[in-house]
Structures are given as C-alpha cells and as structure tokens.
C-alpha cells in the first residue's frame, strides 16, 4: 500500500516519525513535505497530496497540522478527497466506516505520539461499511451546473 503523507511546520516532527514508522511496517510512503520545522503554508503540501490520492498515485493519505483544521479544510476542497480529522481511535474508525475517508488528518499539537500510532493503526484497519453510507458518499461532490 502506498501512503501519501504531509504536514505543515507544526506537524513536521510527527510526520517524520510516522513516515519512518510506516516504512518499517512495510508501507511505501510518498512524502510531500514540509521538510523542516520552519514556518510554511499548509496548502503548499496539502494540494499535491490530494492530487496524488485523487489520481491513484497513492492509495490514501495522512496529514498533520497544528489543529488539523486548516489541512482538512484545504484537502476537502478537492472533489475526490474525503479528509477526516481524528484525535482519537473512535473518530478515526468512524471516518472510515461511515465516511470512507481516504485521507486521515491529525492535530499534531494536541495528541501524543502514542495516540498517533493508535489512530493510524485503527484507521488503516477499518473498512468502509457501505450500505446507507454509500448513498451519502455519492452525494458529497458538488453538483455540476
């Protein structure tokens, strides 16, 4: 499985640590940056990650920023992205089960490294339930016209 990953400066340390952890577990990681803890603009890394997931270069994505909010808002501008913000395992599970989230976003300033690993394990292991949830997923893209 190919996982795209990105962060802003606030999430840089978590992204670096998660990238190594995922690689050690046998995942292929596509790192879209940032490459340092120096201040930067999260849309600069969010848009390329979203494009990789949309075009199939990556199977899914994981992103960090300080609160997770800015990253999630930017990612969700893309019609093919369903980015879910999770700060615990239950939220991560529900973003997959009910929303078929293809990008996981986490708030780097508000969760521990241990919580990151629990959230990621849960999110990657949880399947989409389909059924009534699929009908809702089908209505998410903005209608044309």
Helix (H), strand (E) counts: the chain: 6, 5
- What pLDDT is stored for residue 47 in this prediction? 98
Residue 15 domain-assigned (yes or no): yes
Q: Which residues are catalytic?
A: 65, 98
Residue 14 domain-assigned (yes or no): yes
- What pLDDT is stored for residue 52 in this prediction? 98
Cα(34)–Cα(40) distance, integer angstroms = 8
Residue 85 domain-assigned (yes or no): yes
Residue 143 domain-assigned (yes or no): no
- What pLDDT is stored for residue 143 in this prediction? 83
Residue 53 domain-assigned (yes or no): yes
By residue range, what is the domain housing residue 108?
2-138
Torsion of CA 36, 45, 57, 61, to 10 degrees: 80
Residue 45 domain-assigned (yes or no): yes
Residue 145 domain-assigned (yes or no): no
Ranges of residues in the chain whose predicted pLDDT is under 50: none
- Output phi, psi for 93, to 5 deg: -60, -45
- What pLDDT is stored for residue 142 in this prediction? 83
- What pLDDT is stored for residue 130 in this prediction? 86
């Amino acid at each position: 499985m190919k996982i795209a990953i990105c962060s802003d400066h606030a999430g840089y340390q978590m992204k670096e640590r998660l990238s190594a952890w995922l690689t050690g577990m046998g995942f292929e990681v596509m790192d879209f940056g940032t490459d340092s803890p120096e201040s930067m603009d999260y849309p600069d890394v969010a848009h390329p990650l979203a494009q990789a997931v949309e075009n199939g270069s990556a199977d899914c994505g994981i992103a960090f920023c300080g609160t997770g909010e800015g990253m999630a808002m930017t990612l969700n501008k893309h019609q093919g992205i369903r980015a879910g913000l999770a700060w615990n395992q239950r939220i991560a599970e529900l973003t997959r089960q009910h929303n078929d989230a293809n990008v996981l976003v986490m708030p780097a300033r508000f969760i521990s490294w241990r919580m990151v690993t629990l959230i990621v394990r849960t999110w990657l292991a949880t399947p989409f339930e389909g059924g009534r949830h699929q009908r809702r997923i089908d209505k998410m893209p903005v209608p044309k016209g």
